[in-house]
Structure 1
Amino acid sequence: MKNSTTPLLSIAPLSHDDLAAIAPPEGSPRRAGLVAELGTALQPWRLALKSRALLSAPRGDGRIAVALPGWKAPDVTTAPLRGYLRSIGHDARSWGFGINQGDVEAKRDQMVEQVRELAQRSERPVNLLGWSLGGVVAREVARSAPESVHRVVIYGSPVVGGPTHTAGVGAYDAEEVARIRELQAHLDATEPVTTPITAIFTRNDSVVDWRACIDRFSLDVTMVEVGSTHVGLGIDPDVWLTVAEALAEDPDT
């Protein structure tokens, strides 16, 4: 398994030893921590402060990149990132299914069909970007249709335990939570994702236990830590720069 980290600007990468020392997640985040998410209102200023770095990021070559929103979030939440990616040469698109209602398996099947069609039309695999639960869906699409997915970037996505370690766990009954948790663990153990994944997480996450975002199962993973809140991930300049670097085209691909 490849599990590495890539330094970006002032972001401190995690070493293999750091990753090994991270304990498994326990329960869901404390509700009191949700207050910290209010600091998201300050994020646009960080975008302005890092505008020079954002504009000088590696450019894309027109490959399609589909952005998937988080749980109960509409397409518009991924619009800022999509706009940025288009400005640096990517064909960034919304997923087209409106609000993400949380049915991972149903959305996986819909997205697999869409992604295969996009890959066929463009004559090359597409990139997938997933915020929170959108990243869970993107990861499952890559597992189901690896030939049609070039790279996956997920941020704030619980790859461990399904909804177990999220603030939204109360929206599911206990039996469904257990079913999803067991299914996710089974798939990762028997059919690990082979598509390259960049997984972004933040220890300031009050929506998902950040430890549940550590992907120890996929075969080609780069872990990157940022300092954003969960809600701020969509407009965090370090997230945008990480995405730009992850999607930078290899001359041989």
Structure 2
Amino acid sequence: MAQPAPSPSAAKQNPKQDLHDGPPPNAWLLALELRAFWEAGALLPAWPVLARAPRGDGHSVVVFPGLSANDGSTIPLRRYLDSLGYQTSGWEQGFNFGPRAGVLETARTGVRRAFESSGRKVSLIGWSLGGVYARELAKELPQMVRGVITLGTPFAGSHRSTNAWRIYELASGRKVEREVENYDLPVAPPMPTTSIYSRSDGIVAWQGSIQKPSPLNPQTENVEVIASHVGLGLNPSAWWAVADRLARGEGSWQPFERKGTFLHGLIYPDPARAA
């Protein structure tokens, strides 16, 4: 999980400011990534509840896959959002091996196409590395983007706080340190932005997915779920949170409602509790 190459419109501040520089998840959490199969299996019994999520208003949603994944990995989530009334699309670039030549320009074109075809602002969803694309593209194209949702994206962490940075460098042929120099990744896009994360993530240290409050954009939030990293895009509680966030109309953003009941407290732990 690393960051895309610099763009002319990216704000160059201090890319290392406020980065979490702790260790990556331990071997036990990494082994627990195998529970992703259970999370996918939980979708069927959870479907009666998921089907009751707020309906969409038909606007376009572009979903970016994680490192070494392709649009096939996001089909279940996109089909779910289609069933709620959204017009979804993938990034349509095959496997995500990092921001190689032409990748970011093609991604920008996809966002523009979705915006122009509908005449309405587009929501961007990114899983892991895909969330970095979503956030940075939203900063470049604020007039076209309605909101951003990321799933286990390490925008606020050093590359060494993940268990995937070597895979990224091997797949992309790029050095992570050079990638991050031209971005201030912890800064959120200037529109509603939700980071969905898990403290039991076995790939990304959860602290690297935490958005700090900013007076420049008060419409940012962190939503904690109980999930693996690999299973975040297939996790029923993550799906509900995504649907809830997308259903907020332009100009009517409110923080995610955990509802405070015992059950909801188990499904959505308080992200403000002590580490």
Q: TM-score range by the shorter chain?
A: 0.7 to 0.9
Deviations 1:102-156 (A, max 9, x none): 1289533321222122211211111111000000100011011011111111010
> 5+ residue gaps in structure 1?
1-22
SS of equivalent residue, structure 1 residue 128: strand
Which piece of structure 1 moves more, 109-118 or 127-136?
109-118
Deviation sequence 1:187-242 (CA, Å, 0-9, x none): 656xx520211110001101111110112267231210000100111110111100
User: Which residue, out of 46, 51, 59, partners 2:55?
Assistant: 59
Q: How many pairs are equivalent?
A: 229
Q: Choose from 193, 198, 203 the match for 2:194.
A: 198
- Report the TM-score when normalising by structure 2: 0.76
Change in CA separation of 1:252 and 1:144 when aligned onto 2, cut-off 3 Å: closer
Other-structure match for 1:74: 70
2:209 pairs with 1:213: yes
Alignment map for 1:26-175 (pairs within 5 Å)? 26-103=22-99, 107-161=103-157, 163-171=159-167, 172=169
Distance 2:242 2:102 in 1: 26
Query: What secondary structure does 1:184 align onto?
Result: coil
Q: Indicate the RMSD between aligned Cα atoms, in angstroms.
A: 2.6
**Partner of residue 5, structure 1:** none
Contact 2:202–2:228 (CA under 8 A) maintained in structure 1: yes
Tell me the distance in 1 between the aligned counterparts of 2:99 and 2:35. 29
CA contact (8 A) 1:146 1:194 kept: yes
Shift of 1:69: 0.3
Name the stretch that deviates more: 59-68 or 98-107. Answer: 98-107
Specify whether residues 106 and 224 from structure 1 end up closer, same or farther in structure 2 by C-alpha distance, changes over 3 A only: farther
Task: Please report how far the alpha carbon of residue 179 of structure 1 lies from its aligned counterpart in structure 2 after TM superposition.
Answer: 2.2
- The 1:251–1:34 alpha-carbon spacing in structure 2 relative to 1, beyond 3 Å, is closer
* Residue 228 of structure 1: aligned partner: 227
Cα 1:193–1:44, aligned 2, differ >3 Å: closer, same or farther?
closer
Q: Using the alignment, how far apart are the partners of 1:65 and 1:182 within structure 2?
A: 29
Whether the 8 Å contact between 1:39 and 1:229 is mirrored in structure 2 is yes
Kept in 2, the 8 Å contact 1:58–1:244? The answer is yes
The answer (yes or no) to whether the contact 1:160–1:184 under 8 Å persists in 2 is: no
TM score, norm. by length of structure 1: 0.82
Higher helix share: 1
**CA shift in 2, pair 1:200/1:61, >3 Å:** same
CA drift at 1:24: 3.2
Identity of aligned residues (%): 35
Instruction: Find the residue that maps to 2:190 and give its secondary structure.
Output: coil
> Alignment partner of 1:117: what SS?
helix
